[in-house]
Amino acid sequence: MRAPQVLRLLTALLAVGMGVGCPMRPCEQHPPSPLFDSALVGVGQPLELTVPGVFNECASTREDRAQSVTVEVRDPQNRVVPATAELGVHGASAIVRFTPEQTGRHHLVVSFAPVGSVRQSSLYVVEDHGDAAPLADFSTVVECLGVDRTASGTWLCGSRALRTPDQEPQPLGDYFAPAVVADDVVWVTEAARVHRYVDPGSGPLATSATAPFPATGAPAEAPPHARLATPTELLLLDDTQLHRYVFSEEEGLRAMGSTPVPPSRLATFSDDMPSLLMRAGERLLVVRIAEAPPPATMAIEACPYQLDAAGAPEAVPDEPCHSVPGLPAGHEDGVLWARAASSTERLELLRYTAASGRLRLEGVLEMTASFQVQGARRLRTTGFGVPVISAATSASGAYAVPRWRAETGTVVLELLPSPPERQPPFVSGRYFHLEHWNILYGVKVYARPSTL
């Protein structure tokens, strides 16, 4: 009676062993999980990182785990950073601890023995301003297309002025009219007029002067998309012309003249700005994207302009436009940020300064392709803006902006407060703002850390 049962059991075991009747898929070895190439961590903060080893997933036993582990961490100057490492549970991972004291890219090497392989990764140590308090919280606005502030303390939310954050805004022009602040002067350019306002220190901003735009009287083909200003001068760049206005107490606001600019066939920024306007010493630069010879297909082109004897802008005679590598990603007063790919695995953030009529490379920040560089947004209304750096695959919502450290001649990153719903911040020249919903729409305004 027992023989048939034994036979059936033996048959079942053979079927399992030979894959008969219940086939088993072959074991597949998966690639190791990525480490920290896109991590942004704060300088001076103790870190505790879990680094998994690389083991044979198809092994028949789980006893072939690491018996020891070592770690080496090096800072941007290739100096060893004190660090410790200990094996985690069952020797499948390592717990690494260290405190970075320098900003910049750090290299991490974790070695498992006798199995577990060597794991390497980079971490970007940055100045952490994630806990910074907001300067203002606008509660009476529907949207801020750009944020700035006069020397006397009046906030600008797009083309609207607020003496205090909870004040009803004072409209200075059309809703989409670009505004630019120069000390206590606010310039607003509408479709057909230029307005000059002055902040008296209390109460609403006072109208100082106004003039037709453009000065020729013929309607402009497009509103100005770039501008530069001082308290007494306004430069406006539209798709076809560069315009200049000058104010004096004796003569009021005068149009000094306009000059044609070459048409741009390629958009410069994400909001379809065709070109930028920059000061370069006594000259001006109209910056755009142009075709480049192989192996590059596009590059940055800067065309010089100057003022003639009558004070009108004109192209510099017998001086051609010049090209520099990269694609524009941001714009500050006298500074152009650009991005370039040095290889399929690496990208660069380039900092150009405008001086003596030319763009000159001043600093380079190298990053892995695990980061993404988002170009400045809303430049038509903010005027200035810098690129925002984030991890390409991370859901942490951490955003950083570049900063020039003059004492070391390097480009570093500074971590911004995390925005709600993980939306990137809007970064302008001196401030950045986060949009949020708390029953009603609101705007939290922060100072750029590098401008504190």
pLDDT tens string 2-27: 444 433 433 333 333 334 444 555 65
pLDDT of residue 204 exceeding 90: yes
- Alpha-carbon dihedral of residues 289, 294, 296, 302, nearest 10 degrees? -30
Region of poorest pLDDT, from 139-153, 156-170, 275-289: 139-153
Output the pLDDT for position 412: 86
* pTM, full prediction: 0.83
Average pLDDT, the chain: 84
Is 169's pLDDT higher than 50?
Answer: yes
> Tokens at residue 357, please?
């009529």
The Cα 379–Cα 146 span in angstroms is 8
Q: What is the pLDDT of residue 279?
A: 95
Half-sphere exposure of 277 (CA within 13 A, CB side): 24
% of the chain beyond a pLDDT of 90 = 43
Phi, psi of 381 (to 5 degrees): -105, -30
Instruction: Give me 62's structure tokens.
Output: 């789980």
Q: 227-236, 302-311, 404-413: lowest mean pLDDT where?
A: 404-413
From residue 130, give the alpha-carbon distance in Å to each of 195, 399, 400, 422: 38, 9, 10, 13
More confident residue, 21 or 123: 123
Per-residue pLDDT band at 37 (split at 50, 70, 90): low
Lowest mean pLDDT among 2-11, 91-100, 159-168, 440-449: 2-11
Residue 303 structure tokens: 């065309």
Residue 3: which residues within 8 A CB-CB, separation 6 or more?
A: none
Q: Which helix (H) or strand (E) holds 411?
A: strand 410-415
Lowest mean pLDDT among 210-214, 351-355, 407-411: 407-411
The dihedral region occupied by 17, where left means phi > 0, alpha psi between -120 and 50, and beta the remainder, is alpha
Could you tell me the two tokens for 144? 């801020």
Provide mean pLDDT across the span 233-246: 94
Q: What CA–CA distance (Å, rounded) separates 394 from 418?
A: 13
Question: What pLDDT shows up at residue 17?
Answer: 38
Q: What is the pLDDT of residue 296?
A: 73
- Indicate whether 34 pLDDT > 70: no
CA distances from residue 319 to 80, 288, 312, 413 in whole angstroms, order as listed? 50, 17, 18, 36
Of 116, 123, 122, 124, nearest to 52 by C-alpha is 116
Query: Which of these ranges, 252-266, 356-370, 432-446, has the smallest mean pLDDT?
Result: 432-446
CB 210 within 8 A of CB 185: no
Average confidence (pLDDT) over 166-188: 92
The whole-number average pLDDT for the span 316-333 is 92
pLDDT at position 7 is 33
Q: Cβ neighbours of residue 85 under 8 Å, at least 6 residues apart? A: 51, 69, 70, 71, 94, 95, 96, 97, 110
* Residue 376 DSSP code: P
Which one has a higher pLDDT value, 161 or 292? 161
For residue 341, how many other CB atoms are within 10 A of its CB? Answer: 13
Coil, strand or helix at 373: strand
Nearest to 327 by CA among 336, 337, 338, 335: 338
Q: Which residues of 18-33 are buried (b: 16+ CB within 10 A; e: fewer)?
A: eeeeeeeeeeeeeeee
Which long-range CB contacts under 8 A does 357-361 form with residues at least 24 apart? 357/280, 357/281, 357/282, 357/283, 357/285, 357/304, 357/316, 357/319, 358/280, 358/285, 358/302, 358/304, 358/322, 359/280, 359/285, 359/287, 359/300, 359/302, 359/322, 359/324, 361/324
Comparing C-alpha atoms, which of 327, 237, 219 is closest to residue 279? 237
Question: Could you give the 3-state DSSP secondary structure of residue 74?
Answer: strand
Q: Which of 67-81, 119-133, 368-382 has the highest mean pLDDT?
A: 67-81
449 compared with 197, residue with greater pLDDT: 197
User: Any idea which residue has 């303390």 for tokens?
Assistant: 153
CA nearest to 172, candidates 214, 255, 431, 181: 181
- Share of residues in the chain with pLDDT > 70 (%): 84
